[in-house]
Amino acid sequence: MGLLRRIARARLAGRVLRHLRRAGISGARYHSAAFEVRFTVPGDAEPTIVPLTPLIGRKDLGVFLAGLLRVPATWAEAAPLLRPVLRGAAPGAPLRRSALPFLSEFVVVDQPDTMTYVTPAQSAAWKTSPDLIFATARANLSGAVLHGAATGPVTVRFVDDGNTYWTSHLLLPGWLTRLTGQVGGTPVAFAPERGTLLVTAEDSPHLVALFAEAEAVFVTSPHPLSPMAYVSDPDGCTVPYSAPPGHRLHDTVRRAERLLAVHEYAVQPPDPGHPSAPLDLVGSPTEGWLTRASWQRNVPTLLPEADEVRVGDRTVPWPALLPHLKPTGHHPPRWLATAWPPEDPRS
């Protein structure tokens, strides 16, 4: 291939990369051998491949790429298409804010054939604050109302048809409380996968079975969300269902909480600087459930938050180890463990 042709191809690739960066795609790469650009849209797990040969000589490159990304160019175009979604870890760097333990609220652009996560770069391009973007997305959610009243123990099952965003309704203040009459008591909700929401009453005989059903769906679904149960707090905000020691569901709730933690740490991307210790679920129905991480002493390691950490031949409770760890800013959070403190008389 001649030098001039290589330069022309590289210039075209550079133009494509600049358009993608302006659209919030920070990880796009040019592959010269295949003459293509590859990138991963925030929120997607699979890369998008753009062959560059068909783009040679195109005058509407920006329009073509905007259509490929399905991102509205202006706030006026984007605002009515925004929807909130509840998710765990999402690839890339979408706009996000914490919502529940291990779960965050994201915003997507909802179009007939695509759903694209909004990024901070798009917030800047629309000249719109993240707070307004989140508020607009929530306002666009219908907040569906159920009619009728339960005459006995009832479980309401919401299955998403691609447009209803049922699990996102947990982000709407007061929405869950409004189901009290339909389920016959204080509503308890499960969102085991993105498209399924299960709601029953706190004193329902179905509650124990729903914990088991939610776990089964969570561990087998290609799009798991959470095995935990959720209720409304006095202000109408969704919070985790609590079962203190002595409660009949204490161990069941602990298992669900820890299953979610194990899953979210398992799908967290590896850090190039240090090895990341996995998080494991240990215990039994009779002994109770806890999480455990392992650290090879004095080997710098990123530890997940755990109930206990195995350090060499010892098991150390998390509160005892935490003062000697350095937070790193990961999500979910990790801490850098370097050396066991010399002042520890057992070292």
Q: What percent of the chain has pLDDT over 70?
A: 91
Q: What is the mean pLDDT of residues 167-192?
A: 94
Q: What percent of the chain has pLDDT over 90?
A: 56
* Rounded CA separation 249/204 (Å): 13
pLDDT in tens, 210-228: 999 999 999 999 889 999 9
Among the residue ranges 46-55, 69-78, 252-261, the one predicted with the least confidence is: 46-55
pLDDT-based confidence at 18, cuts 50/70/90? Answer: confident
The answer on pLDDT for 188 being more than 90 is yes
For residue 295, what are its two tokens?
């650290």
Mean pLDDT (the chain, rounded):
88
- pLDDT on residue 35: 86
The answer on pLDDT for 153 being more than 90 is no
pLDDT-based confidence at 114, cuts 50/70/90? Answer: low
Name the residue among 92, 96, 84, 161 with its Cα closest to residue 123: 96
Instruction: Find the DSSP H helices in 188-333.
Output: 207-220, 250-266, 318-321
Instruction: Count Cβ atoms below 10 Å from residue 211 Cβ, excluding itself.
Output: 21
The answer on pLDDT for 143 being more than 50 is yes
pLDDT in tens, 250-301: 999 999 999 999 999 999 988 888 999 999 999 998 889 999 999 988 899 9
Q: Which amino acid is at 70?
A: R
Higher pLDDT pick, 10 / 21 = 10
